A and B are shown apart, each in its own frame.
Chain A
Amino acid sequence: MMDAPLLPLFILLTSLLAAPILFALPERAAKLRTAINLGMAALKVALVGSLSLKVSQGVIYDLRFEVLPGLEFKLQADPLAILFIALSAVLWLITTVYSVGYLEHGPHRARFFGFFSLCVAATVGIALSGNLFTFLLFYELLTLATYPLVIHRGTAEALRAGRIYLIYTLAGGLVLLLGTLGLWVLAGTTDFVPGGILADMAAENRLAAQLLFVVLIGALGVKAALLPFHRWLPIAMVAPAPVSALLHAVAVVKAGAFGIMRVVYEVFGIETAQALGVTAPLAALAGVTIIYGSLKAITQDDIKKRLAYSTVSQVSYITLGVALASPIAAVGALAHLIHQGLMKITMFMAAGNLAEGLGVKRVSQMDGVGRAMPGTMLAFTLAALGMIGLPPLAGFVSKWYLAQGGLEAGQAWVIALLLGSSLLNAIYFLPMLHRAWFRDAAPEGAGAPGRPRIGWMLAAPPVTTAVLVLVAGGFANAPFSPLEWTRFIVAIEYQE
């Protein structure tokens, strides 16, 4: 069978080539810009669909060229890459629709969509990276492409947030460079290989391997918002709503979590990592982050801040599932990569709609918003219940597998942790739902009744993703569901 060996490259180029075109378009060419944005996003979804089909049939894509002697730029489409790339392609399409609606009359749209495209290109590159060196290239590109998006509004507050974001992520990137170099010097390769590449070296020089693990996971933990490197995330929520949605659901935070997966599974290998004794502390750190994020979320009145701390907590589920070193927990972790993305993007888009349509930005202003914006709030409610872990929503599925994995790994504390976290989730989400649905709207001020004016481009995306939350949970066992794909990956990573 004849394949298109350049398919991964084309997927990367759909957004990488769109960026300069979008930059060069004049501000007023809004229709053309929208056409390019949506066209490229739709094309990418189609290409990713065809790539997934091929990869599920066992085709391996591998594209490389030498950057320095022995050091390769390498793109590779394996099942793990597909998982992440499919998430980003689908959510990019939806977020693009949302952004077009959101920024309809805002300034600097050419710049915004240019960097938006670069950001997605970086995410795709991260997904397709075949070695840590290539991963590093795209990881840094992601930082550079998101910075102008975070400070898009150009206010003093946005610039302060941007500065903090840049300090954290670039420092993290520099440490990742250090770790990548260390890996290169120690192992002579940075390739991602199921089962890892460090088994021999770790046996020889245990301390160096442990140190390398700390450096790499610490660097990736910055973007994954792992305690104590999470501080940038709640501050960066000054970004426009679609940016926050993308940051929390697909791009930055997920890039960190995805990197942790690659490093644990395919650089160290889960057995080597366990033998080094580094997985248990990582699991503990993830556990602490889960509880800490939830506790902080409870105290936030600003909706986006509350959601941001909730992300700190929820993304660490992924790290926890990886660190538990049990195949079942790994299924939960990988599924959560998708599920958390769907749920969190729904909530951020809903929060954006509340701010745009009603001027509601705080939890205390949410009285009666359910009646004013039923579609948006229904979507929000589904996502929130999913986060809490109500069956049969997506969040339940991942928590179920994580809990089982905890039992399998003989770590019963995970059950308590998950129950506690679900309880905390309920404590900070349910009051929002209660206000929205069961309280009367304030007679005046933000959230006052009156027809909110948001177009379909703002209203439809959160509803769509909320439906996906329902589908991903309810049909978790269907073929091609995230969960099924996840099992396929885990079988590879655990070399069963």
Chain B
Amino acid sequence: MSIEISPMILAVFVPLFGAIAAFVLTRVAALIGLATLVLTTGAVIWLARDVLAAGAIVLPLGGWGAPLGIDLRADGLSVAMLALTSAVGFLVSIAALDSLKGADQVRQRQYFWPLWLLLLTGMNGVYLSTDIFNLYVMIEVIALAAVGLTVQSGSRAALQAGLEYMYASILGALLFLMGVGFVYLQLGRLDFAGLSGAAPTGALVAALALIFVGLALKTALFPLHFWLPAAHANATAPASALLSGLVVKAALYIVLRLAQYMPFPSENLLTLVGLMGAGAVIWGGVQALRAERLKLLVAWSTVAQIGLIFVAFARAGELGLTESWKAAALLILAHGIAKAAMFLAAGRIKDEIGHDVIRDLDRTPIRPTLAQFTFALAAISLIGLPPSLGFIGKWALMEGAMAAGYWHWVAVTMVGTLMSVAYFSRVFAGFLRFDRVRAPLGEHQGWALADAAPLTLALMAIGLGLLAAPLLSFLEIGYPFGVAP
């Protein structure tokens, strides 16, 4: 029996074969990596065209179909996530070519490409899965690759952070698997469609709660965020960009996807989720204000921003659930792009200046202006200033909260915004202060490949805000939220 060539198959298996090839043929790993990304991006574009033309597409693997076999399914949301992954991944890869070119980075190069392609396999798998066991397998693949990427720099701090990340990840996966097991005991099936029809018994809700806690650990939702700052701050710049921009989004996507099929939890549970998010916004903000190093600050801002996405889930209670996912999806996309840009830019600044101590950013005669400019542009989107995609996401969040009269979520969003202004402006002050430098300024004005990639990402984060209307209508393809297909 032959399997029809489908872009969905390609999106998962091209990166997998790429990973294997890059692992074996270490000398040409970078070339394989780039080729794989080009092919994967091509597959995603193909898939996007199909989805635009025909709506959601379901592909039964091996001809069995759910609930027995494995289905792959692509709709607007999953294609948007695939596109985010390819676009960000492609640009990060280009930046990685430049930032990992040092003679002393042979080992780093050797591990980076296979791990990153394995990561891509796992993520694309998540976005196309239609059952929770498949999801479990994929998040384990992601965890394996992500931990590898965390420790890839080989520094002591990175190893320590990677170990913590691994424990958190294993625990999260375990909880997820237990939840999957209980769901199977309850329903006798694991596909999404089976979930949607089920009666919300106590046992089922408990199983789903286990799954949620597992995912919260993986996406570092406060107070389960403990592993994230060190892991993201100590990885190499391209790895940080992938971890912060893409990896945490996989677990967020699963929450978003399962919410489509899950029985409605209850107003109280939803409020609890929002409160955890609010806690992340505040605590992440406070820690970012206190962080002494640039990359640590950026990592803490990830904690805060993820919290905000959970606030978006909760923003309008039961009535708004059918709309809330749009705000969350916009914020996920915005954060993915802008945070990748910011981590790459922070890495460039660190490379040029030689350190990333925020207090001393203004004491150096070297000013990597382009990287600093990129950092500022990314910050505009993360703060949520117009016309960035981050702004549109916040607008959607606050609009829903306001319409529902949930003023506390509006207040949380505003406080979070002000805090992000405060912690990012600590960095700008370092970029723009000149009277402490004794030596003449040597501004870095040349164009490096490693500067072009983050700048492109940052400009995307800003410009996509103006295209939010077509983006939203694409997201809605085949995805009548609240009415399970």
Contact = CB atoms under 8 A, between A and B. Distances in A.
Interface of A: 23, 26-27, 66-69, 71, 73, 107, 111, 136-137, 140-141, 144, 148, 151, 153-156, 159, 162-163, 166-167, 170-171, 173-174, 177-178, 181-182, 184-185
Given A154-B432, A155-B435, A181 B402 contact: yes
Contact of B392 (A68, A159, A162, A185): A68
Given A67-B465, A140-B386, A184-B399, A166 B433 contact: no
B117 to A, nearest CB: 35
Interface string B350-377: 0000000000000000000100010000
B398 A141 contact: no
A156 B472 contact: no
A166 B385 CA distance: 13
A27 B435 CA distance: 19
Contacts of B105: none
A67 B399 contact: no
In the A-B complex, the 6 residue pairs with the smallest Cβ-Cβ separation, listed nearest first, are A154-B434, A137-B386, A66-B469, A155-B435, A185-B402, A140-B386
B23 to A, nearest CB: 41
Given A171-B418, A174-B418, A67 B433 contact: no
A151 B466 contact: no
A126 B350 CA distance: 38
A331 to B, nearest CB: 33
A321 to B, nearest CB: 30
Nearest to B385: A140
A218 to B, nearest CB: 14
B82 interface: no
B418 A185 contact: no
B469 A69 contact: yes
Interface string B371-399: 00100000010000111000010011011
Contact of A151 (B432, B445, B472): B432
Contact of B466 (A67, A162, A163, A174): A67
A163 B425 contact: yes
Contacts of A73: 387, 466
B394 to A, nearest CB: 8
A185 B429 contact: no
Contacts, number: 76
B223 to A, nearest CB: 27
A174 B385 CA distance: 9
Interface string B441-485: 101010000000000000000000110110010000000000000
A84 B23 CA distance: 63
B386 A148 contact: no
Contacts of A144: 380, 385
Interface string B387-416: 100001001101100110000001000100
Contacts of B395: 68, 177, 181
B166 to A, nearest CB: 40
A222 B445 CA distance: 36
A148 B429 CA distance: 10
Contacts of B398: 177-178, 181
B85 interface: no
A281 B395 CA distance: 31
Given A156-B433, A163-B425, A182-B402, A67 B385 contact: no
29 contacts: A67-B466, A67-B468, A67-B469, A68-B392, A68-B468, A68-B472, A107-B434, A140-B385, A140-B386, A141-B386, A151-B432, A153-B434, A153-B435, A154-B432, A155-B434, A155-B435, A156-B433, A156-B435, A162-B429, A162-B432, A166-B421, A166-B425, A174-B418, A178-B414, A181-B395, A181-B398, A181-B399, A181-B402, A184-B399
A171 to B, nearest CB: 7
A174 B398 CA distance: 12
A393 to B, nearest CB: 39
B417 interface: yes
Which of B386, B395, B429, B445 neighbours the largest number of chain A CB atoms within 10 Å of its CB? B386
A144 B402 CA distance: 27
B140 to A, nearest CB: 37
B403 A185 contact: yes
A185 B433 contact: no
Nearest to B376: A144
Contacts of A107: 434, 441
Interface in B118-154: none
A68 B425 contact: no
A166 to B, nearest CB: 6
Contacts of B429: 159, 162-163
Nearest to B437: A154
A155 B258 CA distance: 53
B386 A159 contact: no
B86 to A, nearest CB: 25
Contacts of B399: 181, 184-185
A155 B373 CA distance: 19
A136 B392 CA distance: 12
Interface string B420-441: 0100010001001111000001
Contacts of A153: 434-435
Contacts of A173: 385
B425 A137 contact: no
B155 to A, nearest CB: 33
Contact of B387 (A137, A154, A163): A137
A162 B468 CA distance: 32
Given A162-B432, A185-B399, 16 more contacts: A26-B445, A27-B443, A66-B469, A67-B392, A67-B465, A68-B392, A68-B468, A107-B441, A140-B385, A140-B386, A144-B380, A154-B435, A166-B425, A173-B385, A181-B398, A185-B402
B433 A178 contact: no
Nearest to B443: A27
Contacts of A148: 432
A98 to B, nearest CB: 23
Contacts of A184: 399
A128 to B, nearest CB: 15
Contacts of B417: 174
B432 A159 contact: yes
A427 B454 CA distance: 56
A27 B443 CA distance: 10
Contacts of A23: 373
A174 B392 contact: no
Contact of A68 (B432, B434, B469): B469
A178 B466 contact: no
Nearest to A180: B395
Interface string B284-313: 000000000000000000000000000000
A136 B398 CA distance: 15
Nearest to A151: B432
B366 to A, nearest CB: 15
Contacts of A162: 429, 432
Contact of B396 (A68, A141, A167): A68
A26 B369 CA distance: 12
Nearest to A147: B428
Contacts of B421: 166-167, 170
Contacts of B392: 67-68
A68 B441 CA distance: 44
A153 B414 CA distance: 31
A167 B422 CA distance: 8
A141 B391 CA distance: 12
B386 A174 contact: no
A171 B414 CA distance: 9
Nearest to B410: A178
A47 to B, nearest CB: 23
Contacts of A185: 399, 402-403
Contacts of B414: 174, 178
Contacts of A141: 386
A229 to B, nearest CB: 16
Contacts of A111: 369
B331 to A, nearest CB: 14
Contacts of A136: 386
A154 B430 CA distance: 10
Nearest to B400: A185
